[in-house]
Structure 1
Amino acid sequence: MSVRPLPRQDSQRIGELQKAQQQDEFSRGVRALLMRPLMAPGNEDFPAVRRQAERLRDWFAREAGWPLHIEREGARLFKRPANLTDDTRGLPTYDKRRYVLLCLACAVLERADPQITLQLLGERVVQWATEATLTSRGFEFTLRSAADRRDLVAVCKTLLEHGVLQRVAGDEESFIHDHSAAQHDALYDVQRRMLAGMLAAVRGPSTWRLEDMPVDFEDRLRSLVIEHAADGEQGRRDALRHHLARRLLDDPVIYTASLDADTQAYFVNQRGAMAGRLCEAAGLIAEQRAEGLALTDESGQLTDISMPAEGTEAHATLLVAEHLAQRLHDAQASPVTTDDAIAAFLRGAVDRYGRYWRKSAREPGAEKELANITLDRLHKLQLIAHQNGQIRPLAAIARFAIGETQIRPPSTHAVQNGAADSFFDT
């Protein structure tokens, strides 16, 4: 019995659907790795990343110069920042102290058994914290205070989120309040493959000889990520393309004026083609203006800070953004303002919007803390330049010149921001 072949038109349509599915899966992999460069096998996008492994490796290496390792135990995209002086990135709630504890915890786990308890991890971190280099800089860590135990638990949660630790039993929160009782402990499996991928440096700090080790902080940062650059014109162009692609994939916006002369010339000539390739792969939308270029995500997933969003801080940030955008457009007023002026603006906004804010934000004096939070968010989004108490709105803030705010009932979750189509001044 013979099987009649599919009509040519149906066969072509099936091929197109398969190609579209492959592209969609590839885009899912790109987006997932950008948001989770160290990806554990339990991540919902990991199967797609494994299926698209070869294509993803080629794309990240070609466009951004980022190596990608994909194994059965997990995936690691070795993202290296284009701008080492940008201090707006980092783990939420982390300060210098917690970063030190994170490094110490990873060092302990590197030498630990396949399983470890939270109590034992803490005790060994305490031992390592007595190292002379740390104590000479005033670092001290014990398990005697709840604050110290809270910092250790925050580090453990970070390692859990990144798949370095897997909880077998126990609870971290009870450990904060009482670590002396055995029932207030937690047991973890140590995932060594994921632990090995925590550091994204080109060259590990332990590979430096003591006499050659860089001393200055900036030199140490550069030594971690310095990469070999091929000689010749093609090597120079590749380095420029990788630098710009890294910034476009990591930063909210690139302002043309922020680039040096060589990079600016390449950017002006190549930004259209570059943006097209990045947008096609990552499902983004390019907004090009004379002032610069932004790759935006309509879904809001590829961002650490959403705007607009729900909550008191998010609403206050939107109000301040609109206020600064209006100053940028007002030819009669200087666009530069101060921290105190923004705090006063928010104090005045309490009369109109305070009933929609949480109670603590309405208290006298709370406007200063709220102003600090909103300005930090705007700075991280590269909508303002903020230094020494001076605030200068940048061109991209123009999209938040939304005009008269419409107050919606508290039960309505839809946000009507009326933002302009343009991200920049035209």
Structure 2
Amino acid sequence: MERYEGGATSGRAAGAGQLTADVPTGAAPAYPAAGRLAELLDGSGQSEADALFTAAFGLYGARHLGGVLPEDGPADEGCSWWHGPTVHQPAALRGREGGRRSRIAPGRGALAASGRRGRHRKPVPGSPEQVAVERRTAARLLAAHPLVTAGGPHGEGLPLIHRHADWLVERFATLLGYPLTVGAGYARLHKAPLPGRALDPTEHGPWTPQAYAALVRAVVAVAEGASPDLTEPAVRQQLGEWRVLTEGLADRELAGALLNSGPSDSPVPDAVAVRRRLAETPVVLLDELTPDQRRWLLAHRAEETALFADFLGLTAEYRAEGIALLDPADELTDLALPGNGTLAQAALLLACRLVEELRPLPEESAPPAVLVPDALIDGALGDITDEHGLRNGWRRAYLADLTAFRRDALDLLHRMQLIAPAGRAWLLRAPAARYAPAVEPEPPTVGRHSRSYAG
């Protein structure tokens, strides 16, 4: 650690170079690649800046759907999500505004996700079972929080990462192609580029291209031993959250690790490409994969299911349209659905209403997605707002501005991959039906919309 002075600094903050170099003060810039990145960010649009920063830093968390089917529920892999078993729980939507768990408790999620929910015994210390639980817990922590620091909110998990560092480095590299750097006071997993995983907005607002550039330059400055420019409030806040700057001290080693080169940008094997999508995204539809990737996944489903259960404690839900990896502990996700809060409740209710209106009948073909009439979204959102808004204590700002409510609810469903854009319209994807009331085995056939639903 080195002491720093806050405020504006020298122009050396724009430097760059080999990512872990330790350069004496006054030497040439050591991070030219990072300096070039800052220049690109400065001149880019918002979506391009989000993509550039995410690709360079790879610090996003895993994202998975919540709600696991009952253990005695049917699990026919050839069944469509449109007509299969559901996790519909109306009572769960009646909670008032609140947050989700933001941490992975050591051992809890790994045990809950091991397929022995509610009847597991505490493993014997030092036993192979205990080692497996510890490794799974450490891997889950890194998948959820790719930067773990000794003084950060997940610091209690760092000793576990240190204990199994060699295994974790090998597993992440072999299975996902992710570099893992473990230092005395930190662990930094560098993930591959993934669309839509930019930094979350701060209390100062969303990250603009210029704010991203300022953040990159500030990290470079710390890594080079210079004082960072902290004029941008969001930069100071982010460096504090990353523990690069704490109580007047600058962590040069950690700053260098943040600038470390990520996964190679060369093509990866089909197995790695598919595993990355399974590990990081809520749903993988077969028609989104290349033919070779699709064949590989279908041929290796059993092995991959066992692999992800052992590595990350995730369970597989196979359907005719694709696969979703789920976390029985509902922890391994940066967004919660189902979840508490206005947006989570409204978005899931909206998805349920759309499924009930648009779901293909059992005797019809089951496409991966169906087009949503724009007027149906407005009508459904208006109905659920009237029915649930005041009773559930939803945010008054949303109740007073249905345009903003619609935008943010659809954005959440999009990020959870339950809907997808189709030009200026939306597609409702088949996995959304896992949250709607189950369709009865023999629905009435009076008319297309004369359907009877259970639940």
> Contact 1:401/1:419 (CA < 8 Å) preserved in 2?
no
Give the equivalent residue in structure 2 for 1:381: 416
> Contact 1:339/1:371 (CA < 8 Å) preserved in 2?
no
Choose from 163, 185, 188 the match for 1:73: 185
Map 1:166-315 onto structure 2 (within 5 A): 166=246, 168=247, 188-199=248-259, 201-202=261-262, 225-227=264-266, 239-315=269-345
Choose from 396, 410, 423 the match for 1:359: 396
Q: What is the distance in 2 between the residues matched to 1:314 and 1:419?
A: 23
> Contact 2:223/2:253 (CA < 8 Å) preserved in 1?
no
Map 1:16-31 onto structure 2 (within 5 A): 18-31=127-140
Indicate the larger mover: 305-314 or 345-354: 345-354
Indicate whether 1:346 and 2:368 are aligned.
Answer: no
> Contact 2:220/2:255 (CA < 8 Å) preserved in 1?
no
> Contact 1:74/1:193 (CA < 8 Å) preserved in 2?
no
TM-score (normalizing by structure 2): 0.62
Indicate whether 1:105 and 2:185 are aligned.
Answer: no
Q: How far does residue 95 in structure 1 lie from its aligned partner after superposition?
A: 3.4
What root-mean-square deviation, in Å, do the aligned CA atoms of Structure 1 and Structure 2 show? 2.8
Q: What is the distance in 1 between the residues matched to 2:239 and 2:397?
A: 33
1:92–1:328 Cα change, 3 Å: same
Choose from 37, 49, 52 the match for 2:146: 37
Q: How far does residue 71 in structure 1 lie from its aligned partner after superposition?
A: 2.1
Q: How far does residue 196 in structure 1 lie from its aligned partner after superposition?
A: 1.2
Q: How far does residue 108 in structure 1 lie from its aligned partner after superposition?
A: 3.2
1:338–1:191 Cα change, 3 Å: farther
Structure 2 residue ranges without an equivalent (≥5): 1-121, 440-452
Q: What is the distance in 1 between the residues matched to 2:386 and 2:403?
A: 16
Q: What is the distance in 1 between the residues matched to 2:407 and 2:123?
A: 55
> Contact 1:63/1:242 (CA < 8 Å) preserved in 2?
yes
Q: How far does residue 362 in structure 1 lie from its aligned partner after superposition?
A: 2.1
TM-score (normalizing by structure 1): 0.65
Give the equivalent residue in structure 1 for 2:239: 159
Q: How far does residue 58 in structure 1 lie from its aligned partner after superposition?
A: 1.6
Structure 1 residue ranges without an equivalent (≥5): 1-12, 124-151, 169-187, 203-223, 230-237, 405-417, 421-426
1:194–1:402 Cα change, 3 Å: farther
Q: How far does residue 163 in structure 1 lie from its aligned partner after superposition?
A: 2.1
1:122–1:95 Cα change, 3 Å: closer
Map 1:50-69 onto structure 2 (within 5 A): 50-69=162-181
> Contact 2:399/2:405 (CA < 8 Å) preserved in 1?
no
Q: What is the distance in 1 between the residues matched to 2:354 and 2:261?
A: 38
Letter in 1 for 2:189: L
Q: How far does residue 111 in structure 1 lie from its aligned partner after superposition?
A: 3.8
Q: What is the distance in 2 between the residues matched to 1:335 and 1:327?
A: 11
Give the equivalent residue in structure 1 for 2:351: 321
Letter in 2 for 1:92: D
> Contact 2:140/2:312 (CA < 8 Å) preserved in 1?
yes
Q: What is the distance in 1 between the residues matched to 2:189 and 2:327?
A: 20
Aligned pair count reads 305
Q: What is the distance in 2 between the residues matched to 1:107 and 1:339?
A: 47
> Contact 1:400/1:419 (CA < 8 Å) preserved in 2?
no
* Residues 204-238 of structure 1: per-residue CA shift (max 9 Å, x gap): xxxxxxxxxxxxxxxxxxxx8413x6xxxxxxxx7
> Contact 2:309/2:315 (CA < 8 Å) preserved in 1?
yes
1:403–1:313 Cα change, 3 Å: farther
Indicate whether 1:49 and 2:129 are aligned.
Answer: no
Q: Secondary structure at the match of 1:66?
A: coil
Q: How far does residue 347 in structure 1 lie from its aligned partner after superposition?
A: 2.1
Give the equivalent residue in structure 1 for 2:109: none
> Contact 2:140/2:332 (CA < 8 Å) preserved in 1?
yes
Q: What is the distance in 2 between the residues matched to 1:280 and 1:336?
A: 38
> Contact 2:314/2:326 (CA < 8 Å) preserved in 1?
yes
Indicate whether 1:89 and 2:119 are aligned.
Answer: no
1:58–1:122 Cα change, 3 Å: closer
Letter in 1 for 2:217: L
Q: What is the distance in 2 between the residues matched to 1:16 and 1:360?
A: 51
> Contact 2:136/2:311 (CA < 8 Å) preserved in 1?
yes
> Contact 1:327/1:335 (CA < 8 Å) preserved in 2?
no
Q: Secondary structure at the match of 1:402?
A: coil
Q: What is the distance in 1 between the residues matched to 2:123 and 2:318?
A: 36
